[in-house]
Structure formats: structure tokens, C-alpha cells
Amino acid sequence: MDLNEILNKGELSKEEIVFLLNLTSEGDLKALYDKADQVRRLYVGDEVHFRGIINFSNFCEQNCIYCGLREDNFSLSRYRMTPEEIIETAKMISNEGVYTIVLQSGEDSFYDADMISYIIYSIKQNTNLAVTLSIGERRFDEYRAWKIAGADRYLLKHETANEKHYHIYHDRQALHERINHLRFLKQIGYQVASGNLIGLPLQAVEDIADDILLCKELNADMAAFGPFIPAPFTPYKNHKPGSPELTLKTIAAARIVIKDIHLPATTALDSLDKEGREKALLCGANVVMPDFTPHPYREKYLIYPGKRGISDDPLVSHKMIQSRIEAIGRKISASRGDSVKSSYRIV
């Protein structure tokens, strides 16, 4: 295959995506990253959008074998933030000039439909924030209620498009059900985010290509491609972490394939590579998701160990991230960073 020909095609096949993911030479990687950066600039611009995360509960009723929050991890000190704590943290984030929050937790049914609706509505009444939910699979009627309460977006990573692997990683869930949830969320008006983990056991580059193509098929508004980091007290605790280089290649390929999608430079990548955020932003990414979870909860949301900045003051950490972004010549957006896809454009 000819690299230049592939990089200048309008549509890429699975085989061509796999070819990009298998690139190894420094010159070829530079060409890939430069093309992805060019496509990013053309379709979503130079601004970097912040999504402020509030990890409000680390209880989880699922038992995914790669995740530190899994139900069987009895070593984890569990916590739940009160609705009032969540709302006050959202106000603080808004005051910091961040225009989107991500309310994230394990799958914790303690927060029922009414409680989540109250939190969303209260945040909407007191701020101009876009509200993203990242709380796992819930009932379809709950998704509707939260949309009515004011939720704008939903983050529900598919993790892997390989059905057999999905069943191994998630013994209580099925891939087709996850995809049905994503399609329903999109259908009722949420801006939808999906994504995968790079480096899970059994994964091949062909699987990653399928992940990118699934995000395209779903018409996802955002896709998070981050490296797997093994967590203690999980079946994969001794497995090696995902490759930062393969993660960067995935971000670049996703940008070239999907073009107008939002792509975050993930904290997991930054935890494995001290320049991970900068590298991702230079090969197609345009979103950063700083953690604003307050102490003492911040240290307890341990999906994986060694999370960068977890012991820092959230406001100090945010300013440091902002400085790093500005140091590579990118500017921080002063907007909510809504999807640039045609269905969300204001005409």
C-alpha cells in the first residue's frame, strides 16, 4: 500500500486503517500525524475544549475484569458525593471558565432517575454549563428523563467492537445491548461519545480498526481512545499497559477517518507518557478532560493506578494543563464545544 495515497483518500477501508496502525518508521509516523493535525485544523479548528470531570461515585454494580472500580474489588474505599456537593463543584468549574462538565461514576443505581434529574436541573439553573453524563447503561426511560431535565451529552464507551472479547471483559453485559443504548441516546437528541481501550488482552490492530469504524457508523460526536492501564485487584493486574504510540496512531487514524469528531487527549495517555497530552493534541485531538473531583474523593476514583495529577489541587492542576496547551500554540476555547456535525449546527 502507498501511504501518501491512503492519507489523501476520502474514505478508508478497514485494511487501510490497519496499515496506518502498523506504521513504525519515524518518517511514516510524522506523515500520519501531520495529516491528522491538518484534518483536525480543517474540520474542528485550533481551539481545545475543556470537559471538567466530576467523579461523584466509585460504587459500581458491574464487574468488568479490567476496571479498578469493579464490584469484586473489596480493597477500594468507596464513596458517594451528595447532590449538593456535586452541584457546588459544578458551579466552581463554571467559575473557572470551563463550559462543559462530565458527571461520571461507576454504575451506581443509588443515584436513581429523580436524583440525577435534580442534579442536572439544578446545575442548569445555576450555570451555563453543557452537562455530559457518564454513568453507564441505564434504562431508556431514564435517558429520556435526564434529557428533559437538561442533559446535553452522554459518554458510553463501547470499549471493544469485538463481540467475543466484549463478553470476556464484561460478563454481565453484551456488545449488541451497548450499541443499542448508544443508538437510542443519539436518536433522542444526546450528543454521544464512545471509544475504546488500547492494549486490552486479546486485542489486535484489526480490532482497533473495527472500533474506529464503529464510532463512524454510530455517527459519534466524540470518541475517547485511551491506553489500558492494569489495576490492582483485577484479573488483568499483571498485564502490560497499552502502548502510548499505538494510542497516538489510533487517534490520528480516527481523525483521518471520521474528520469532524471530537477526540480527547486522555489522562490515561498522559499518565503513561509525561508529554502524552501534547502529543495527542498534535496528532488530531482537540479535547482535554481535567479532573475537578474534590478531595478527599479525588484519590479514591481508582479505575487505574498512577493517574497523573490525582494528588494535586483540582484548580492548580487545571491551570497547569492550560499552560501546557498554550505552550504548543493551541488556544483554550471559550465555548461549550458542541458537536460540529451537521445535525447540531445552528443555521
pLDDT value at 145 more than 80: yes
pLDDT recorded at residue 27: 98
Binning pLDDT at 50, 70 and 90, where does residue 176 land? very high
Grid cell 469504524 is found at 213
pLDDT recorded at residue 341: 75
Residue 346 neighbours by CB under 8 Å, 6+ apart: none
Q: Tens of pLDDT along 15-37?
A: 999 999 999 999 999 999 999 99
Residue-range domains of the chain with CATH:
47-240+295-337 (3.20.20.70)
- Alpha-carbon distance of 73 to 232, in angstroms, equals 9
- Give the number of residues written for the chain: 347
Torsions phi, psi for 262 (to 5 deg): -80, 135
DSSP state of 281: H
pTM value?
Answer: 0.96
Reported as type and span, the H/E element at residue 41 is helix 26-44
Positions of E strands within the chain: 47-50, 52-57, 100-105, 130-134, 153-155, 191-198, 222-227, 264-265, 287-288, 331-332
- Alpha-carbon distance of 331 to 325, in angstroms, equals 7
Grid cell 459544578 is found at 90
- Alpha-carbon distance of 255 to 263, in angstroms, equals 8
Binning pLDDT at 50, 70 and 90, where does residue 171 land? confident
Reported as type and span, the H/E element at residue 325 is helix 314-327
Grid cell 481545545 is found at 48
